[in-house]
Structure 1
Amino acid sequence: MIKSIQASWGDGEHEFRLRYGELDELEKTSGDEVQIAFGKLLEGRVKLRVVRDIIRLGLIGGGMPSADALKLVTRYFGEATIQAESWIAARILGVAVAGRDIGELQDVEEGESTAARPATEPALAGSTSPQSAETPASLA
């Protein structure tokens, strides 16, 4: 069974789950396979519509009637920052893909919790290496 998460979003605490039907709809609406959409979400390269759809479909999979989920998302999506909306979407999709809430996972490399880290921070978005200040020889 695909696990769910409980999270505060919109007007209160909700259950979010993406079952195969919701995942199939997400693939159709996003144009990407679920794992690709998840990777893009973690890298901060996903369209807002996809973030919105993940939240809406997660509410439906969590047991909310489709019409109510649409009303809730229409009312509340965009009241939080893009980073916050993306983080809740990453948690929803992450539990479907990885079987665990990424908010509970430990960052093995850095040895710190990712629970409070927004989706666009470096541990989720890519390299934490400093940018080189040197000009490549081919451009000099």
Structure 2
Amino acid sequence: MKPLTTYFGDGEYPFALRSAQIIELEGKCGAGIGTIAARTFAKHFSQIEITETIRLAAIGGGMPPKRAAEMIAAYVADQPLIASWPLASKILEHAWFGAPHQ
């Protein structure tokens, strides 16, 4: 699947939840991808679901893990959760439905 490229923090970055990232996300969140997506879409998410969705999708898009953690620390941690929700929601939507016309 082609990554979702969108603005995050200081520029445009590719994001992709591939199989390895989905498995890690499920483990970290203690829930399956369907549950994580449903809760996020309904705004019934936990903080770890938002932060890990973004961090792991950045890694899946090609960002080195250390840089992804730095981006989370700079642009997600200690920010209002609603500020990061649109990006996490877009990432999960892309993983669930794919890109339009893909």
Deviation at 1:4, TM superposition (A): 1.6
- Which segments of 5 or more consecutive residues in structure 1 lack a partner in the other structure? 102-140
- What's the counterpart of residue 24 of structure 1? 23
| Residue identity matched to 2:7 | S
Report % sequence identity. 29
Could you list the structure 1 runs, at least 4 aligned residues long, displaced by more than 3 angstroms after superposition: 78-81
Structure 2-normalised TM-score?
0.89
RMSD across aligned positions (CA):
1.5
Deviation at 1:49, TM superposition (A): 1.5
Q: Structure 2: how far apart are the matches of 1:71 and 1:100?
A: 27
Q: Structure 2: how far apart are the matches of 1:76 and 1:83?
A: 12
Between the two structures, name the one with larger relative contact order (CA 8 Å, sep ≥ 6).
Answer: 2
- What's the counterpart of residue 39 of structure 1? 38
- What's the counterpart of residue 49 of structure 2? 50
Q: How many residues align?
A: 100
The structure with the greater share of residues assigned to helix is 2
Q: Structure 1: how far apart are the matches of 2:62 and 2:99?
A: 19
- Which segments of 5 or more consecutive residues in structure 2 lack a partner in the other structure? none
Q: Deviations over 1:101-134 (max 9, x none)?
A: 6xxxxxxxxxxxxxxxxxxxxxxxxxxxxxxxxx
| Map 1:1-140 → 2, pairs under 5 A | 2-78=1-77, 81-100=80-99
Q: Structure 2: how far apart are the matches of 1:5 and 1:47?
A: 23
Structure 1-normalised TM-score?
0.66
Q: Structure 1: how far apart are the matches of 2:68 and 2:77?
A: 15
Q: Structure 2: how far apart are the matches of 1:61 and 1:81?
A: 24
| Residue identity matched to 1:100 | A
Q: Structure 2: how far apart are the matches of 1:7 and 1:84?
A: 15
